[in-house]
Structure 1
């Protein structure tokens, strides 16, 4: 049995005797072996550090054996330095035996795993594989985004179809999921809502082109196809007015609109029933023509009233004056006769005033081109200033409710209207109460109301 004292056997001669204790040889061996030992000891520490940082390392046992082997090599070099001065050959031999066993194990494991280690990709290969994986990842991400966008488009298109089923318009669209590479979709594949079938009476078994062409008024078909062809070539908005046959055979006017959607390379459009509006517009046009004729007749009447009646009325006025003078000269007039003569004079004055008002109306119609923006407050102030004496003498109370402060009108005509209405309100006031006059302006829809009201 080996005892502890046997490990430090003084019978052996220190290795320094082999060097004849030559200093440069002795220290060269000592220093170089020390450096080699330090280097050997650093390698296991590095392997331990790598293992702690990379616990996913596959060949752990091979690394352990390699670390033991390297550490054993380092210990043998330490004993080489120690043995120069202290002959510990027994410990040195034991360390070398352990190192030898570790080296055999390391070699065996290394031989076993060498093919697998060789199969491990190089850094360049890993880089290339990583780049390929990144490229594939980007491609997959792009495909995923494209798939998501397509799903969104399909969902949006389904929502679009759902919404169009509730519309009163007939809706059509070229299929947005077919792109033929041309400048614009050919329009061969179409979506149409249920309103088409309800209106035309066709079923969904009938191709749209056949149903549409047969439903359009025959004499309008060629122009319609030209317009559609032009819009497809230029990508300009499609617009038309055509008559489409209803299921009962009646043709009704429809306004057609279509727009090109670049993102889906498709067209979306509608046909809206405007037959009632068109009929109403024609009726309004006829009414306008009738109003023009009535205005023409009114102009003729006003011309007659303001010219042809002036002379007879002037004669009537002269005859009434002459009759009054004769009666005053020859007779003593009683109250009843004076009242009759006064009524005749008043009637003639009112008739003259009516003709004058008609003349003013004619001027307003003919001078409409002279209109400009007029301040209502300024115009009322101007008129009341000219009526100042009349208003003060009758203690007139004037109320102004001016909501619309400016209007487009011929200034002299507006002045004439306000002047006549105010002056008449004062002239024909009730003697039983203080005159109160209200003048107001306000907006009613697209019209402007000017009101002069008295008590």
Structure 2
């Protein structure tokens, strides 16, 4: 049976000396069993790995612990291929013995190396892109401030003999404000994406929500919003603090930003448990609502906006979805135009 397996199979005495090699071992190495000898599999390893492999083998013989390692083994043509070498101590009719196998995993190992190299390159490119976006958005702020100062001075000291003067000034002012918000959103997006792997900790939902609302206090007062918080069902959540703050900030600020002009915002935030005891956060508003595809989990794209008359860059909900999915959760949305929107955050998928 062992001779029919295309894998290096061998047995050894209780002292660790190999006394049997299957036929494939001879075919792979190009050596007969008598030339492989009692420590033949170690001699086939790459010279730089033989000492480590031998030390681990001696340790297994002394303790009886199973042996396992990843090593390069020389083939009959001189090429080294990666193998997983395993050995277990068992008992047969001759008493206590070792049974080992060397499994060729060279193709899988080299593919993993290629994939890892590509992943590292993509990660480096992504970091470079994030750095470029952050730097560009930061460096463009100074020219924006200069434009703002020049525009304010122009409005103070100059006048235009044009019946549309007021409208033109308002349009320029709005364009500058929109540019400022876009640069802020771009910088915030990069910073939040860099925090996707933030360490987790046990967080009090009300405490984090109060912290976020404190930063939104001006918008809440200006819009006369009514905000209800109910975290009785799930008062705490194990999550990254920066990630949780970003999710709550974007959902709450969006609910305030896209309020319906005919009524003050009414925002309900509550936690609950799913049927599988997974925590859920629901943020419901009575705002403008939006048109969504016929699916509970739409995919949001950056810089896509349904209400262009409202200032913003269109990255907030995209970032929320990115944070949630990166930690194994999902974002569900239900919305009716002119009635409101409900975001349901499933922090972890069952």
TM norm. shorter chain > 0.5: yes
- The structure-2 alpha-carbon separation of the partners of 1:229 and 1:414, relative to structure 1 and needing over 3 Å to count, comes to closer
- Partner deviation per Cα, 1:395-422 (whole Å, 9 max, x = no partner): 9999x9x99x7342125x6324432343
Partners of 1:353 and 1:445 lie apart in 2 by 26
Q: CA deviation at 1:254?
A: 1.5
Q: CA deviation at 1:372?
A: 2.7
Q: What residue is the counterpart of 1:209 in the other structure?
A: 36
Structure 2 residue 17 is the aligned partner of structure 1 residue 187: yes
Q: What residue is the counterpart of 2:141 in the other structure?
A: 310
Gaps of 5+ in 1: 1-160, 176-183
Q: What residue is the counterpart of 1:343 in the other structure?
A: 171
Matches within 5 A, 1:48-447: 170-174=8-12, 184-190=14-20, 192=22, 196=25, 200=28, 206-207=33-34, 209=36, 212=41, 215-221=44-50, 223-246=52-75, 250-261=79-90, 264-275=95-106, 276-277=108-109, 279-281=111-113, 283-284=115-116, 287-288=119-120, 291-292=123-124, 294-295=126-127, 298-299=130-131, 301-303=133-135, 305-306=137-138, 308-325=139-156, 329-334=159-164, 338-361=166-189, 363-364=191-192, 365=194, 372-374=201-203, 379=208, 389=220, 406-411=237-242, 414-424=244-254, 426-428=256-258, 434-436=287-289, 447=328
- Partner deviation per Cα, 1:134-167 (whole Å, 9 max, x = no partner): xxxxxxxxxxxxxxxxxxxxxxxxxxx57x967x
Q: CA deviation at 1:448?
A: 3.5
Partners of 1:375 and 1:389 lie apart in 2 by 22
Partners of 1:361 and 1:212 lie apart in 2 by 54
Gaps of 5+ in 2: 263-285, 291-295, 297-316, 336-340, 342-350
2:70 and 2:82 in contact (8 A); partners too: yes
Higher RCO, 1 or 2 (CA under 8 Å, sep at least 6)? 2
Q: CA deviation at 1:333?
A: 3.1
Quick check: which one's helix share is greater? 1
1:170 and 1:195 in contact (8 A); partners too: yes
Q: Normalising to structure 2: TM-score of the pair?
A: 0.55
Matched residue of 2:177: which SS?
Answer: helix
Quick check: which one's strand share is greater? 2
Q: What residue is the counterpart of 2:277 in the other structure?
A: none
Partners of 1:201 and 1:384 lie apart in 2 by 70
1:376 and 1:407 in contact (8 A); partners too: no
Matched residue of 1:331: which SS?
Answer: coil
Over aligned residue pairs, what C-alpha RMSD do you find? 5.1
- The structure-2 alpha-carbon separation of the partners of 1:453 and 1:372, relative to structure 1 and needing over 3 Å to count, comes to farther
Q: Give the aligned length.
A: 276
Partners of 2:122 and 2:24 lie apart in 1 by 39
